[in-house]
Amino acid sequence: MKLRILALALLPLALARLEAAGSLINAYSRQSLSLNGKWNVIVDPYETGFYDYRYQPYDQGPDSTAAFFMDHRPADKSELVEYSFDRSPTLMVPGDWNSQAEKLFYYEGSVWYRRLFDIRASRPGNRLFVYFGAANYEADVYLNGKKLGRHVGGFTPFFFEITNAVKPVGNSLIVKVDNKRHREGVPTLNTDWWNYGGLTREVLLVQTPGTFIAQYHVGLKAGTRDRIEVTVQLDGPRKQQKVTVTLAGLGLKAEARTDASGVARIEFPAAQIRLWSPERPALHDVVLASETDQIADRIGFRTIKTAGTDILLNDKPVFLRGICIHEENPMRGGRAYSVEDARMLLGWAKELNANFVRLAHYPHNEHMARVADELGLMVWEEIPVYWAIQWENADTLHLAQSQLTELIARDQNRASVVVWSVANETPITAERTRFLKTLVDTARSLDGSRLISAAMEVHGDKQNPDLRIVDDPFGEFTDLVSFNQYIGWYDGLPDKTARISWSIKYKKPVVISEFGADALQGWHADALTRFSEEYQEDLYRKTITMLRKIPAWRGVTPWILADFRSPRRVLPNVQDGWNRKGLIGQNGAKKRAFAVLKSFYDEIEQRAARGP
Ligand code: GCU
């Protein structure tokens, strides 16, 4: 079936923002050369490679954008060169440095990475980009002795065009990665997770045609379940082209022409589309083509919205049977980064009979959302606006906005992603609420098709010690009322749950974004012994009983799927640098509470299957 629709003149604001940020969407599906593997590294705590002895940065000189450690080799025996990447040790990329070298376990500072590469064949007219899945926290990138640019933020992709900077052989790519924490940073100084540093995700050399499809959004037209809307953004000299979108599996094809800014919007009926849901995670092969480029993706189509206190997936009420996950492979004790890591973590969530995961507290790698698409898990994605951020600092706000923009640009075509979260456990002040409101506006302007939330705070009541109140002013701007509660762990013993009542200000779906208790896997005692599996098990049982009493309870993501490293957890022979609130231990073994949560989710699933 062939449809011709003229390009709409108006450039959608969302695409304007994403275009401004520059996009190289779905990089993993493009022709690319992987730079993963061993990189030579120089550990540089005093940043000798970046600042001169007057602490002036080398790469901001009037005539040079080179830093000091630029892979220079002595011309002869008398030339003084006091570093050598060739003779330096190596680290694996992708990977954090903390879990790769004992000496770097606690290291926070700069490490210089160097990778040599040749680019023998690139089609004439093609463009070349160096693409980073992420680097924690600040990355200064140089190629052949020249600065390409800098990226700040440890959990979102970035890239630089190197078409005119690359040579056929002997290219030297150097990245200074600095994971020092900053008061004005996002996250700020204090977190309850390990500050893994390094080139933590894949590095690719991505080749594209001269004019390529930089960004696209494919989804159901708002308010429909049988019309598809596609927005495409071209990048390159030939902005005005014919673009087509094909869903061969459904015999659907539509086309349009891009306007002067390279944007086209296409809309067409798709009556026979199979909607995506956790029960049936239907994905469709979608091919977007222009006259100069083509890109393929596997995309699911679904609607998500709230109605009163209900969450509706494809217009049916749904309970979010969830679990929180950190981006860590507990057995490796390091950052997770691969498809295999994603399959392991999300596989455990499926074993729990979960249909929802909260990826805490920062954007996880792209494989997580793609594997969640496949396995049928709805996803909550979050940016690390965590605890006490510098609310009045404009640069901090800009940083949070750019992380949110980069995340949405990367994952906006993932059916699994149903919630954008802009914060976790942030203290209630007017500046904070203003800051978070700005983030909500940013998210809504970029993507109006998903729910917006944050993990909010709960407080007590002077008159009634057993009353818990949720009236965070920020709740006015979110689609869900989500909050963390630790009754029975930080707040009393599990028995306390029986006498707690809730006052929740907003008539919106309530999603408990955290509850939990530490338990050392394999340690068994009575249910009142802290850190025993029995204590955690008992707390899960009693918390579920307590939460059932909240009329608008529509979801939960207990803290947390697996034990994870945290420098805040120092109890010897129990924590030893690990937060032990996982339902799965550091060794991958399940704790007793795992079965408690699973049987609750089985019950919820059976009840939903029986219908109202
Ligand atoms: C907090 C926080 C988590 C933390 C957890 C805990 O609520 O959001 O990041 O790890 O509680 O104390 O274990």
> When comparing pLDDT for 463 and 59, which is higher?
463
| Region label for 67, one of left (φ > 0), alpha (ψ between -120 and 50) or beta (otherwise) | beta
Closest ligand 1 atom to residue 425 Cα is: 8
Residue 121 pLDDT class (50, 70, 90 cuts): low
Probe residue for ligand 1, chosen from 424, 453, 559, 565 as the CB with the greatest number of ligand atoms within 8 Å: 559
pLDDT 10s digits, 32-81:
999 999 999 999 999 999 999 999 888 776 666 677 788 888 999 999 99
Check if the beta carbon of residue 586 is closer than 8 Å to that of residue 330.
yes
Looking at residue 7, its pLDDT comes to 39
What is the rounded CA–CA span in Å between residue 355 and residue 349?
A: 8
63-72, 242-251, 394-403, 442-451: which has the minimum mean pLDDT?
A: 63-72
Pinpoint the alpha helices (H) of 5-103: 13-21
Is residue 530 predicted with pLDDT exceeding 70?
yes
Check if the beta carbon of residue 384 is closer than 8 Å to that of residue 419.
no
Is the four-CA dihedral 131, 405, 134, 179 of positive or negative sign? positive
Looking at residue 611, its pLDDT comes to 82
Closest ligand 1 atom to residue 566 Cα is: 10
Residue 120 pLDDT class (50, 70, 90 cuts): low
Residue 18 pLDDT class (50, 70, 90 cuts): very low
> When comparing pLDDT for 13 and 116, which is higher?
116
Whether omega for the bond prior to residue 572 falls within 30 degrees of 0, making it cis, is no
Provide CB contacts within 8 A for 353, sequence distance 6+.
321, 598, 601, 602, 605
Looking at residue 329, its pLDDT comes to 98
pLDDT 10s digits, 493-527:
999 999 999 999 999 999 999 999 999 999 999 99
Looking at residue 455, its pLDDT comes to 97
For ligand 1, is residue 424 a contact (CB within 6 Å)?
yes
Is residue 8 predicted with pLDDT exceeding 60?
no
Probe residue for ligand 1, chosen from 425, 556, 569, 578 as the CB with the greatest number of ligand atoms within 8 Å: 425
Q: What is the DSSP letter of 351?
A: H
What is the rounded CA–CA span in Å between residue 294 and residue 208?
A: 10
Looking at residue 62, its pLDDT comes to 62
Looking at residue 73, its pLDDT comes to 87
* Residue given tokens 């970035």 in the structure block: 158
pLDDT 10s digits, 77-117:
999 999 999 999 999 999 999 999 999 999 999 999 999 99
Q: What is the DSSP letter of 106?
A: T
What is the percent of the chain with per-residue pLDDT over 70, rounded to a whole number? 95
